[in-house]
Structure 1
Amino acid sequence: MSKTLESWLILAAVPYLGGNRISKLLQHATPHQLLTMPAEQLRLIGLSEQQVHALHYPKRQRIDACLAWAEQSEQSILTLDSPHYPALLKEIASAPPLLFVRGEPHWLREPQLAVIGSRTASIDGREAAYHFSAALVAANYVVTSGLALGIDGQAHYGALKNGGATVAVLGSGLNHIYPARHRDLALQITEQGALVSEFWPDEKPRPQNFPRRNRVISGLSVGVLVIEAAEKSGSLITARYALEQGREVFALPGSIQNPASRGCNALIKSGAKLVESPVDIFEEVGALTECAISNQMNLSLPQPENEELPFSTVLANVGNEATPVDVVAERCKQPVHEVMMQLLELELHGVVTTVPGGYIRTRRG
């Protein structure tokens, strides 16, 4: 493994050194040169005794574990000076010095549009996320989101099911997929896109990680589409980062009576572009390839064609009223744990959704 990567890992492991501080240090020397610099000189450029000690006496076990992680198939670490580091992300304040990637890193350098929103999204919100993402990949964009439940998951799924690529930015290390419910989705993304994190592989999900994750989502993207967001939500944090980073911000309007729409409506009032179809996005950022969206009837959102859904027996026993899992299992004469797994898969397809009391079909179902 490259000595350069090892030097970067040691530098990034120094406590209380963020992206800004590291960028300033790199104006004095390369990571390798910093490791060999005398303690007195390191103190002169602003490092504390604790930081000097961490540079000269790194925790080898942690560094070696990370190097071994990067040697595994489909896993890599991009450093700030790597030619594969995404150019747009490098422009933001406090750009992550390291990016841990599982999947194909080249997707990070392709034009991306972020699709984000509520974890407790409505059926309409989930369908919008799916169909907007399908339109974006048809226009040759990579769809970027945060792997969360609700809007994020449907955005990833809409990209994957329509032959596009998608990038998921995590608020944990890549050895800890969060939420666990999206492990299968994460595996699909690895095969048709990339999982990305600035956190070391064994870092567990922590609340303070997610605002940091949000600035990476917007930093990677040319624009951010918000679909359903409460007045105080992580999606609005991402939108604020996007504005600070000079990215386009788009919002899907909603009813003034719906608390889940208040965040989007507030964004529109403050200058975000109101969108009703993917064409509204392309008017601002452009479509990267010829696509049929503008020719569709009333500029409607794309629909999946002849999609064959799995687990038809389970689906047939979920209706328009909430049905508990054990009732579905009894009707299907299958074990509850098997029915639960099938329902989770059907939810990823966007044909059923969880509500208080069980599952119901969506309009796509």
Structure 2
Amino acid sequence: MQTLTLTDDEIAAWLRLVSTRGVGPVAVRHLLSIYGLPHAIFEQSPAALAQVVGAKLAGAIKRADPDGLAERVARVLKWAAIAGNHFVTLADPAYPRTLLEITAPPVLLYVKGRLELLHAPALAIVGSRNGTAQGLANTQQFAHALAHAGLTIVSGLALGIDGAAHRGALASPSSTIAVMGTGADLVYPARHYALAHEIAAHGAIVSEWPLGTTARAQHFPQRNRLIAGLTQGVLVAEAATQSGSLITARLAGEMGREVFAIPGSIHAPLAKGCHQLIKEGAKLVECVQDILDEIPYKGLPGSIVNSENHTNSAQPEQNSELAKPTPKTRQPQQVQHAPTAHAMIDTLDSHARCVLAALDYDPTPLESLATRTQLNSAILQAALLQLELGGWIAALPGGRVERIKHDAVSP
């Protein structure tokens, strides 16, 4: 998919229009519906414009000569000349149809990467910036499976759950979209610099903010409305009761999108936001099929959800380069031929299996493990080390451990 080819003057007119003080997306869309393109709007008389948007806004449009406009135009032209960068206007056929359904769609989008993903069936996955080990693992596994089913995964590039969602989806042809609260030429948080470049290469980065715009707190609620608007539904993986992820979920509900939430322990602070959404009508999600039953998807050939064991047991592919395999080169049999959980359990010694059997779904203090297993400190620490190195558990602050694989095991 290609964007419309715009002249320098046409790009300047779009930037001038959106930079006019007091003229927001709703007014711009109304003006465009009447006059067509920005050049035609600026050619109107003050009286004609006043009949459409009132005398005050008409005067602002006729006087519009925003400070720094020439510099902004030059910056956009330089950026748009780079392969993979797209300047998308509200009048462009490449503009995502799902965003046209929301109340105030952004007039301009800056897209870096695969433009066609903005028109694909999509699901947002959002959650806490301080996700637990289990929450991050769940997120990456769900994102991996859903992307291989044909859903593009949308999130906000934040730390924690967002990052896990992007990483889980990257290896799929459906890939992932990161919606930014900054300009598309910046990366926030800086810790996700490498991840953002992977997404730009194999997925897409989207922003409504002018190039060079730095992170500001007020930008992120607006970013959240785009995350919801680009998708058919939102999955909240982990969230506290005051999380911004709940805002995204509620915006999605108001837009008529599906809302999903993964439940957790009643004792876990980051499960309470999900439980609140479920009480309010979100669909409780235990496996990938719970989402696929509600969201249209492509069903890519070889998709792991086409196998009998397609719930949430698929592990993310190990791909050090995070390169996006194509449908011709991807081998779906890899997941089926991987060692089973029980085969891996058989490699653990008896003490490690005893400890694993004693762990439940909540973070567990070491003192409780010692009581449950009746192992002395040295043997217990050795078993915990074996389990941590094998990816079965994660160490948490405060001398606690959390199990991140939950296949049944007997000591």
Aligned equivalent of 2:48 = 41
User: What whole-Å deviation, never above 9, does each CA across 1:115-174 have from its counterpart, x for those lacking one?
Assistant: 110000000110011000111111111111000000000000001134541100000102
Aligned equivalent of 1:283 = 293
Aligned 8 A contact 1:160 1:189 in 2: yes
3-state SS in 2 of match to 1:94: coil
Match of 2:222 among 204, 212, 216: 212
Aligned 8 A contact 2:134 2:402 in 1: no
Q: Aligned-pair distance for 1:361?
A: 10
Match of 1:302 among 298, 302, 314: 314
User: What whole-Å deviation, never above 9, does each CA across 1:41-97 have from its counterpart, x for those lacking one?
Assistant: 334432154443116998222223222221222111111110111111111110011
Matches within 5 A, 1:235-246: 235-246=245-256
3-state SS in 2 of match to 1:37: coil
Aligned equivalent of 1:338 = none
3-state SS in 1 of match to 2:177: strand
3-state SS in 1 of match to 2:211: coil
Match of 2:126 among 116, 125, 128: 116
Q: Measure the CA separation in 2 of the matches of 1:353 and 1:60.
A: 53
Structure 2 unaligned spans of 5+ = 1-5, 323-390, 406-411
Aligned 8 A contact 1:293 1:302 in 2: no
Structure 1 unaligned spans of 5+ = 311-349
Q: Aligned-pair distance for 1:363?
A: 4.7
Q: Aligned-pair distance for 1:195?
A: 0.3
3-state SS in 1 of match to 2:16: helix
Matches within 5 A, 1:180-219: 180-219=190-229
Q: Measure the CA separation in 2 of the matches of 1:351 and 1:172.
A: 37
TM-score (norm 1): 0.81
Q: Aligned-pair distance for 1:249?
A: 0.5
Greater mean deviation of Cα atoms: 9-18 or 259-268: 9-18
The answer as to 2:277 corresponding to 1:267 is yes
Aligned equivalent of 1:330 = none
Greater mean deviation of Cα atoms: 210-219 or 33-42: 33-42
Aligned 8 A contact 1:116 1:227 in 2: yes
Q: Measure the CA separation in 2 of the matches of 1:57 and 1:38.
A: 23
Q: 1:199 to 1:309 in 2, by over 3 A?
A: closer
Greater mean deviation of Cα atoms: 82-91 or 252-261: 252-261
Aligned equivalent of 1:168 = 178
Greater mean deviation of Cα atoms: 186-195 or 285-294: 285-294
Q: Measure the CA separation in 2 of the matches of 1:76 and 1:355.
A: 43
Greater mean deviation of Cα atoms: 22-31 or 174-183: 22-31
Q: 1:362 to 1:6 in 2, by over 3 A?
A: farther
Q: Aligned-pair distance for 1:307?
A: 6.0
Q: Measure the CA separation in 2 of the matches of 1:48 and 1:286.
A: 44
Aligned equivalent of 2:348 = none
Aligned 8 A contact 2:124 2:233 in 1: yes
3-state SS in 1 of match to 2:291: helix
Aligned equivalent of 2:146 = 136
Q: Measure the CA separation in 2 of the matches of 1:163 and 1:55.
A: 44
Q: Measure the CA separation in 2 of the matches of 1:62 and 1:253.
A: 46
Match of 2:22 among 13, 16, 23: 16
Q: Aligned-pair distance for 1:26?
A: 1.6
Aligned equivalent of 1:258 = 268
Aligned 8 A contact 1:115 1:224 in 2: yes
Percent identity, aligned pairs only, is 41
Note the aligned Cα RMSD (angstroms). 2.8
User: What whole-Å deviation, never above 9, does each CA across 1:191-237 have from its counterpart, x for those lacking one?
Assistant: 11110000011111100000000000010001110011111111011
Aligned equivalent of 1:60 = 70
Aligned 8 A contact 1:10 1:58 in 2: no
3-state SS in 2 of match to 1:17: coil
Q: Aligned-pair distance for 1:362?
A: 8.4
Q: Measure the CA separation in 2 of the matches of 1:259 and 1:222.
A: 28
Aligned equivalent of 2:34 = 28
Q: Measure the CA separation in 2 of the matches of 1:201 and 1:57.
A: 15
Match of 1:99 among 87, 104, 109: 109
Q: 1:170 to 1:351 in 2, by over 3 A?
A: farther
Residue 312 of structure 2 aligns with an amino acid whose one-letter code is S
Q: Aligned-pair distance for 1:5?
A: 3.0
Q: Measure the CA separation in 2 of the matches of 1:163 and 1:224.
A: 20
Aligned 8 A contact 1:278 1:301 in 2: no
Q: 1:127 to 1:22 in 2, by over 3 A?
A: same
Aligned equivalent of 1:332 = none
